[in-house]
Chains A and B, each alone.
Chain A
Amino acid sequence: MNQDLKNHINESLKKGVRLDGRKKEEYRPIEIKTGVVATAEGSAWVRCGDTEVIAGVKLQVGEPYPDSQDEGTMMVGSELLPLSNPNFESGPPGIDSIEVARVIDRGIREGKAIDTKKLCIRKGELVWTVMIDVMPINHDGNLIDIGGIAALAALKNAKMLEVENDKIVIGKRTDAPLPVEAMPIPVTVLKIGDNLIVDPTDYEEDVLDARLTVSILDDDTLCAMQKGGGASLTTKDINEMVDLAIRKSHEIRKKLKEAL
């Protein structure tokens, strides 16, 4: 990144103005729709500024893991689709895709968003697997947060499938919802120079020094974190970033509740 341009962004941020005119702690307007994909057990579409994401939930049945015989399993997948941004290339998922998927996954998993005990069909033999895929249609930054919100909305929207002779009946959805018990909201805070901002555009992500994603439950418990970027963080930084993330999680949780 051009150091001159970076300094310029820094100077503007010091005066409290971002490139698109937002304040440092201001999210772009969020729009959430659920049930947008007929072939998914659950789905959601989320738009935040020019970032637009579709998340879809598919259910499968299979054997449990040996160390958790009475629990279903889950996994989040994501791909930085070359459709969504000129800088993404075709090919197997790179480390950036993998990080997005794993950070969203960690929040949902460790926040116990899904009660996996309720996804056991027969202990030690047959359990549900929840596959959540998060796909950007349009990528203008903050994919972890927006993708995480879309994943939660899709989970809330999901319906169970019928099972016959230990096999799922393709396309036969029941009225039973997926056992979603908690909503761990991921919030990413960026550090650029001495400034902390939320909901970055991809231009802002290009110049970040460090970032911290914190997944937060409704009682403000933290359930997953990821520090990114090349620069280090002081304890004071982390303190401020977590505080900011918690404050923002309240706003987003409210939006999400309204949409569901």
Chain B
Amino acid sequence: MTEGKLLVKEKDVVVPGEVLASGMSYLPGNGTYRLNDNIMANRLGLLVIDGKVLKSLPLAGRYLPRKYDVIIGKVIDILMSGWRLEINSPYSAVLPLKDASFAYIPKGADLTRYFELEDYAVVKITNVTSQNLVDVTCKGPGLHKIKGGRIIYVNTNKVPRIIGKKGSMVSMIKRATDCKVIVGQNGIAWISGEPEMEVITVNAIKMIEEHSHISGLTDKIKEYLEKATGRKIEFNAEPAEIGEEVRAEETVEADSNGSGHEY
């Protein structure tokens, strides 16, 4: 057996069919596979070397629902016993009556009193079946119907970078712009504040989205925010490590003031 040879570096952008390593001393992880003596990439991503395991962390791709994710959904249908939500994914989610509100909703009630078509809500995924049938709940801290503000869609793979470590990146944006911001794990984000500040918030989020793979991201965003708002920022965001698990919940909780259920 020949000595394994690594042909790429940590954090390189790798693409399908690219040979990442030759020889048998490396192992394929997520986003990579073995073809004869080589480890190859099978999706567009950032390379992460974890000991002998080579992984490609996705840079693109649509949101796949996962249990316990906090997401934002849009009501697209009113069902017999709940609502159907579009969640920026190939699959829609169902919000059942019993999970819509802490208040009792009697059978046959006018469901539009709770959620109307086109309403947005912050919800948590309670179940995902093998066929990707998705159930969500609106009962819980930080979960609520959205009022006012605006909605944007971002690349769901960049959500951890937008949120930052312990929500620090999004906190920095919120402090700089005085906007309320909720970023759903599914790439739907809600922003509410003064019009000019909302624009700055959106631009900052788009910047993170575009430059998520580069180093020095925090400084870049801080510099932009200071310039755009004309305010000094006395706060340092810690960007999430590439590949680090960051959950949208962390920002949602900080934002909800514990209320959320306003019926």
Query: Using a CB–CB distance below 8 Å, which chain A residues touch chain B?
Result: 1-5, 7-9, 11-12, 15, 17, 19-21
The one of A2, A8, A17 in contact with B199, judged by C-beta atoms closer than 8 angstroms, is: A17
In the complex, whether B150 has a CB less than 8 A from a CB of chain A is yes
Which residues of chain A are near B195, meaning CB under 8 Å?
A: 11-12, 15, 17
Q: Number of residues in B with C-beta < 8 Å to the partner? A: 17
CB nearest neighbor in B for A16: B195
Would A21 and B150 be within 8 Å (CB), given that A1-B118, A2-B118, A2-B119 are in contact? no
Interface pair B150/A8, CB less than 8 Å apart: yes
Cβ distance A112 to chain B, nearest Cβ, rounded Å: 42
Q: Chain B 169-204 against A: per-residue CB contact (8 Å), 1 yes, 0 no?
A: 000000000000000000000001001101100110
Interface pair A21/B203, CB less than 8 Å apart: yes
Which residues of chain A are near B227, meaning CB under 8 Å?
A: none
CB nearest neighbor in A for B203: A21
Q: How far is B146's CA from A21's CA once the two chains are assembled, in angstroms?
A: 23
Interface pair A2/B120, CB less than 8 Å apart: yes
Q: How far is B203's CA from A71's CA once the two chains are assembled, in angstroms?
A: 53
Name the interface residues of B119-138: CB closer than 8 Å to any CB of A: 119-120
Cβ distance A244 to chain B, nearest Cβ, rounded Å: 21
Interface pair B199/A5, CB less than 8 Å apart: no
CB nearest neighbor in A for B192: A8
Query: Using a CB–CB distance below 8 Å, which chain B residues touch chain A?
Result: 74, 118-120, 146-151, 192, 195-196, 198-199, 202-203
Interface pair B149/A8, CB less than 8 Å apart: yes
Q: How far is B151's CA from A7's CA once the two chains are assembled, in angstroms?
A: 13
Which residues of chain A are near B150, meaning CB under 8 Å?
A: 5, 8-9, 19
What are 12 inter-chain pairs, A to B, with CB distance below 8 A?
A: A2-B118, A2-B119, A4-B119, A5-B149, A5-B151, A7-B148, A8-B148, A12-B195, A17-B195, A17-B196, A19-B198, A19-B199
Q: How far is B203's CA from A20's CA once the two chains are assembled, in angstroms?
A: 9
CB nearest neighbor in A for B117: A2
Q: How far is B195's CA from A9's CA once the two chains are assembled, in angstroms?
A: 9
CB nearest neighbor in B for A20: B199
Cβ distance B152 to chain A, nearest Cβ, rounded Å: 9
Main secondary structure of the interface of B (DSSP, over half): mixed
CB nearest neighbor in A for B228: A21
Which residues of chain B are near A17, meaning CB under 8 Å?
A: 195-196, 199
Which residues of chain B are near A15, meaning CB under 8 Å?
A: 195
Which residues of chain A are near B196, meaning CB under 8 Å?
A: 17, 21
Q: How far is B119's CA from A58's CA once the two chains are assembled, in angstroms?
A: 47
Interface pair B147/A4, CB less than 8 Å apart: yes
Q: How far is B195's CA from A20's CA once the two chains are assembled, in angstroms?
A: 10
Q: Knowing that A4-B119, A12-B195 are A-B contacts, what are 18 other residue pairs whose CB atoms are under 8 Å apart, sorted by A's residue number? A: A1-B118, A2-B120, A3-B118, A4-B147, A4-B148, A5-B118, A5-B149, A5-B150, A7-B148, A8-B149, A8-B192, A11-B195, A17-B196, A19-B198, A19-B202, A20-B202, A21-B196, A21-B203
Interface pair A21/B199, CB less than 8 Å apart: yes
Which residues of chain B are near A1, meaning CB under 8 Å?
A: 118
Q: How far is B152's CA from A20's CA once the two chains are assembled, in angstroms?
A: 11
Q: How far is B75's CA from A1's CA once the two chains are assembled, in angstroms?
A: 11
Cβ distance B179 to chain A, nearest Cβ, rounded Å: 12
Q: How far is B206's CA from A100's CA once the two chains are assembled, in angstroms?
A: 31
Which residues of chain B are near A11, meaning CB under 8 Å?
A: 195
Q: How far is B148's CA from A7's CA once the two chains are assembled, in angstroms?
A: 8
Which residues of chain B are near A9, meaning CB under 8 Å?
A: 150
Cβ distance B120 to chain A, nearest Cβ, rounded Å: 7
Q: How far is B150's CA from A12's CA once the two chains are assembled, in angstroms?
A: 11
Q: How far is B148's CA from A5's CA once the two chains are assembled, in angstroms?
A: 6
Cβ distance B150 to chain A, nearest Cβ, rounded Å: 6
Which residues of chain B are near A3, meaning CB under 8 Å?
A: 118
Q: How far is B148's CA from A9's CA once the two chains are assembled, in angstroms?
A: 10
Which residues of chain A are near B198, meaning CB under 8 Å?
A: 12, 19
Which 9 residue pairs are nearest across A and B when measured between Cβ atoms?
A17-B195, A21-B199, A12-B195, A2-B118, A15-B195, A8-B148, A17-B196, A8-B150, A4-B148
CB nearest neighbor in A for B150: A8
CB nearest neighbor in A for B120: A2
Q: How far is B202's CA from A4's CA once the two chains are assembled, in angstroms?
A: 19
Which residues of chain B are near A20, meaning CB under 8 Å?
A: 199, 202
Q: How far is B195's CA from A2's CA once the two chains are assembled, in angstroms?
A: 18
Of A5, A11, A20, the most chain B CB neighbours within 10 A belong to A5
